[in-house]
Amino acid sequence: MKQLDIEATLADLTIAEKISLLAGTDFWHTQRIPRLSIPALRMSDGPNGIRGTRFFSSIPAACFPCGTALGATWDILLLEEAGKVMGEEAKAKGAVVILGPTVNIQRSPLGGRGFESFSEDPFLSGSLAAAEIRGIQNGAGVVATIKHFVVNDQEHDRSAVNSIVSDRALREIYLLPFQLAVRDAQPAAFMTSYNKLNGTHCSEHHGLLEEILRGEWKWKGLVMSDWYGTYSTSRSINAGLDIEMPGPTRFRGANLGHAIFSKKVTSHVLDERVRNVLELVNRVALLGLPENAEEKMRDTSETAELLRKVAADSIVLLKNDNNVLPFDRSKRIAVIGPNAKVATYCGGGSASLTPYYAVTPFEGISGKYSDPSSVSYTVGAYSHKLLPLLDSQIVCNDGSSGWMFKVFTSRDDAITGSAEPIDQIFLRSTNNFLGDYTHPQLQHPFYATFDGYFTPQVDGVYDFGIAVAGTAYLYVDDKLLVDNATNQSEGEYFFGHGTVEESNSMELMAGTTYHLKVLFGSLDTSKILNGTSTGMNGAIRLGCALRIDADNEIAYAKEIAKNADQVVLCVGLNLEWESEGYDRTFMDLPGRLDDLITAVAEVNPKVVVVNQSGTPVTMPWVSKVAGLVQAWYGGNETGNAIADVLFGDVVPSGKLPLSFPVLNEDNPAFINYRSERGRVLYGEDVYVGYRFYDKTRKKVNFPFGYGLSYTTFELSDIDANIGEATLKVSVRVSNLGKLPGSEVIQIYVSQHAPSINRPPKELKGYRKIEVAAGASEVVEISIPTKYAFAFWDEERSAWICEKDTYTITASNGTANLQTDVAIEKTTWWNGV
């Protein structure tokens, strides 16, 4: 790539060429114009790792911990380092634009994409996003795309729902993370959200894109739509939306040409949209990446080390009665639970990817022992929403792990296998999204087979299940077992285009190898979409599990736990429960997990629970267990990081980036969540998360900012001073324990006599610091005065800092120090 003379290039472009630059050509690329040396730019998801250009048969990548895990580190320097590595991963995939970070606010524990975002708090979200963006852009030279602008905080009806939000809540809670990222990092790209904001789709919202983002905040860069989040031609162009994604276009092309002809879009607006695209080209030109670059892996030891550190530093120790942790590796341990032998490394949807590798908690824990007999295991209870994938159990006829995908032009050829397939590809996973699969001979509809072999380890009845976007039949040893084609029911699979899982059972013998074959028809053949999906490929998912008696399995887990020196229960959610495309319907742990934890705790008072989820779960057993660890979705190094904390190789330092309420009914958005006939009222206003729990004095299981350590910290000597433009707070942090550790000092501000209702306290600054055993450090935190004390004045459409006395609280989540400062004069401000 080379730098362009932007104004000269604009003058040389034809109107048709200008129009072509304002939409993608496919799922991941912008338009190229070779005669003017304008290259195609490659984009890639996303929030916790760089997938590359393919959902289907993708090149493996580094998977970072999920957004809430990154939020739990409260570590700006670490996120800058992580952002730089994300940028290097993007370059290995030939991508110059990363579609992340995500900074939407967790209004409710049930949000399907809550795990993607950092926090319920706008300051923590914005400051961590800025750190990651600086790493991506300044450290690696790649473009970061902050998203989703704005209030895309639920999945239900997300493309149609009208989010009704007060100006004050919009400014103080939902826009503030974006504003802080602009102030501190200048992201080169913004992505609009799917939903409407107060009656107008965000991709068509002139007030949002032109008046606030580009006008008030003086931001310069490119605005793109979320994928299929463009809903108009003239309105979106005039509102400030530069690029419609993905391609090929639906609303630009000839439609935009006609809008220009009729002057619904003027030439100077068209040029401004194109200019932003060309500026982006110039920004990434220095990277020197070729167009359509080969996608590669960069699975290095340095990357693995960083992933392990980020994952471990994100883990939050919530309970540690009688110092049950860290574990002693000289003592026997029982590992129980459905998350133990599965690497729950990421949430679902566009944040998901194929990792270089993924370490299970059982592997991480077992790795701490030289004698395998010291570690016992049982599943205890199932927690799956869909039957577990056969990824690690299905093999091809040559013994390699995976199954064979063969494509045919006719159904008869697929059934009989009498004709040569037009394509065949070895696949490692039994969950395959075919949306971006291509082949020169592919015609619609098309048919395919998936072939593999399964050898069960124990005798028993096995349940097999198929979910499909299209049609599918499962044959076991050439006998039809599951029919998900003749009669289909609409489900959540494949972003709502797929079916519910259809299942059937079969008794299998241990050591016997069974041939599994799926006959698949593309999405065109679906019964539930009635032919509205012509040309779309679809998706297929095969799952299988040994049928267990839940009561007997829990009884067996109790016996193992009773005789163990140490017990860890690995439970939680996974990418089926937390995913783009739908929200959770309840906050409880799935299946019989609550029963399992309660039963095991009855026979062993030293039980430690490791919960993996991106957002809160109910914990009716919390008073009965000795230890509790919140481990999130930890990326490639999930299992190693969990084991490092459990055995004390890492002293836990994570703090909760969101409150854990007792019940879903306790959360502030409870009565105003989900779309109701196309609208959702943000009735909690500014009282999101801890702001609500503090105001109503409602009990939570664990509060925002909370997290324990294996050492003991003491805070003392708080001091706060207001300078000309900066509030400076200092506090002494002493490590009274015998282990070195890191502590997060959180600064909250409370106004004594505000002219309107305000939350009792609001986070305005923080810093993570490492302190040696027996040592102390003075932490100094500087906060711009206008940000430290302001709220949004709806009468003046400006931020206001009122003359008043304010309490400054320094907290580590368990202990607080306070002092007062005074603002002598009321002032208003706008901008950043």
Is 70 exceeded by the pLDDT of residue 533?
no
Is 60 exceeded by the pLDDT of residue 403?
yes
Q: Is residue 303 a contact partner of residue 62, using CB atoms and an 8 Å limit?
A: yes
Q: Are strands 431-433 and 423-427 parallel, antiparallel or unpaired?
A: unpaired
Closest CA to 171 of 77, 127, 105: 105
Give me the domains of the chain, ranges plus CATH numbers. 57-243+262-285 (3.20.20.300), 386-546 (2.60.120.260), 713-829 (2.60.40.10)
CA distances from 244 to 88, 203, 232, 645, 663 (A): 26, 9, 10, 45, 40
288: left (phi over 0), alpha (psi -120 to 50) or beta: left
Closest CA to 127 of 764, 798, 832: 764
The whole-number average pLDDT for the span 288-292 is: 93
Closest CA to 73 of 611, 762, 652: 652
pTM, to two decimals: 0.96
The whole-number average pLDDT for the span 654-675 is: 97
Cα–Cα distance, 511 to 458 (Å, whole number): 8
CA distances from 393 to 346, 387, 396, 450 (A): 20, 14, 10, 15
pLDDT at res. 771? 98
Is 60 exceeded by the pLDDT of residue 439?
yes
Residue 716: partners with Cβ closer than 8 Å, 6 or more residues away: 731, 732, 734, 817
Handedness of CA 722, 723, 726, 728 (dihedral sign): negative
Closest CA to 564 of 340, 326, 328: 328
pLDDT at res. 210? 98
CA distances from 786 to 173, 175, 653, 763, 792 (A): 16, 16, 30, 14, 11
A 10 A CB-CB count for 77 gives 12
Closest CA to 760 of 825, 704, 832: 704
pLDDT at res. 409? 87
The whole-number average pLDDT for the span 614-634 is: 98
Is 60 exceeded by the pLDDT of residue 532?
no
Sheet holding 539-546, edge to edge: 431-433, 539-546, 460-469, 502-508
The whole-number average pLDDT for the span 669-692 is: 97
Cα–Cα distance, 79 to 173 (Å, whole number): 22
Average pLDDT across the chain, whole number: 96
Dump pLDDT digits (tens) for 459-486.
999 999 999 999 999 999 999 999 999 9
pLDDT bin (cut points 50, 70, 90) of residue 47 is confident
pLDDT bin (cut points 50, 70, 90) of residue 528 is confident
Residue 153: partners with Cβ closer than 8 Å, 6 or more residues away: 104, 105, 106, 107, 108, 111, 163, 174
Torsion angles phi and psi, residue 89, rounded to 5: -65, -40
Cα–Cα distance, 325 to 650 (Å, whole number): 12
Residue 224: partners with Cβ closer than 8 Å, 6 or more residues away: 145, 189, 190, 191, 192, 241, 242, 243, 244, 245
Q: Name the least confident of 42-56, 354-368, 529-543, 585-599.
A: 529-543
CA distances from 474 to 194, 342, 388, 517 (A): 36, 24, 16, 6
pLDDT at res. 348? 92
Is 70 exceeded by the pLDDT of residue 530?
no
Q: Is residue 99 a contact partner of residue 46, using CB atoms and an 8 Å limit?
A: yes
The whole-number average pLDDT for the span 1-22 is: 95
Is 60 exceeded by the pLDDT of residue 547?
yes
DSSP state of 425: E
Closest CA to 653 of 63, 47, 78: 78
SS3 (DSSP) at 830: coil
Token pair for residue 625? 């267990």
Q: Is residue 241 a contact partner of residue 230, using CB atoms and an 8 Å limit?
A: yes
Is 80 exceeded by the pLDDT of residue 707?
yes
Cα–Cα distance, 302 to 311 (Å, whole number): 14
SS3 (DSSP) at 250: coil
Alpha-carbon torsion, ordered 177, 181, 182, 185, to 10 deg: 180
Token pair for residue 307? 């992933």
A 10 A CB-CB count for 258 gives 13
DSSP state of 265: S
Torsion angles phi and psi, residue 370, rounded to 5: -85, -25
The whole-number average pLDDT for the span 408-436 is: 91
Is 80 exceeded by the pLDDT of residue 699?
yes
Cα–Cα distance, 599 to 550 (Å, whole number): 12
Catalytic-role residue among 121, 226, 413, 451:
226
Percent of the chain with pLDDT over 70: 99
The string of DSSP codes covering 492-535 is STTTTTSBPPEEEEEEE-TT--EEEEEEEE-GGG-TTTTTTTTT
Token pair for residue 208? 């949002």
Helix-helix angle 254-261:267-285, to 10 degrees: 130
Provide the terminal-to-terminal Cα distance of the chain, rounded to the nearest Å. 33
Handedness of CA 14, 19, 24, 30 (dihedral sign): positive
pLDDT at res. 534? 54
Percent of the chain with pLDDT over 90: 94
pLDDT at res. 496? 76
| Radius of gyration over every alpha carbon of the chain, rounded to an integer in angstroms | 27
Is 80 exceeded by the pLDDT of residue 531?
no
Is 80 exceeded by the pLDDT of residue 596?
yes
DSSP state of 738: S
Cα–Cα distance, 602 to 593 (Å, whole number): 14
Dump pLDDT digits (tens) for 50-101.
999 988 889 999 999 999 999 999 999 999 999 999 999 999 999 999 999 9
Q: Name the least confident of 436-445, 749-758, 781-790.
A: 436-445
Is 80 exceeded by the pLDDT of residue 529?
no
Whether 226 sits among the annotated catalytic residues: the reply is yes
Burial 121-135 (b: 16+ CB within 10 A, else e): bbbbbbbbbbbbbbb
pLDDT bin (cut points 50, 70, 90) of residue 213 is very high
pLDDT at res. 94? 97
**Before 177, cis peptide (omega within 30)?**
no
Residue 35: partners with Cβ closer than 8 Å, 6 or more residues away: none
Q: Is residue 597 a contact partner of residue 621, using CB atoms and an 8 Å limit?
A: yes
SS3 (DSSP) at 70: helix
Closest CA to 155 of 409, 365, 347: 347
The whole-number average pLDDT for the span 212-239 is: 98
pLDDT bin (cut points 50, 70, 90) of residue 216 is very high
Cα–Cα distance, 763 to 755 (Å, whole number): 20
Ordered alpha helix ranges (H), 591-724: 593-603, 638-646, 690-696
Alpha-carbon torsion, ordered 279, 280, 284, 289, to 10 deg: -120
The whole-number average pLDDT for the span 348-363 is: 94
Token pair for residue 289? 């990446």
Residue 122: partners with Cβ closer than 8 Å, 6 or more residues away: 105, 172, 173, 174, 176, 177, 180
pLDDT bin (cut points 50, 70, 90) of residue 535 is low
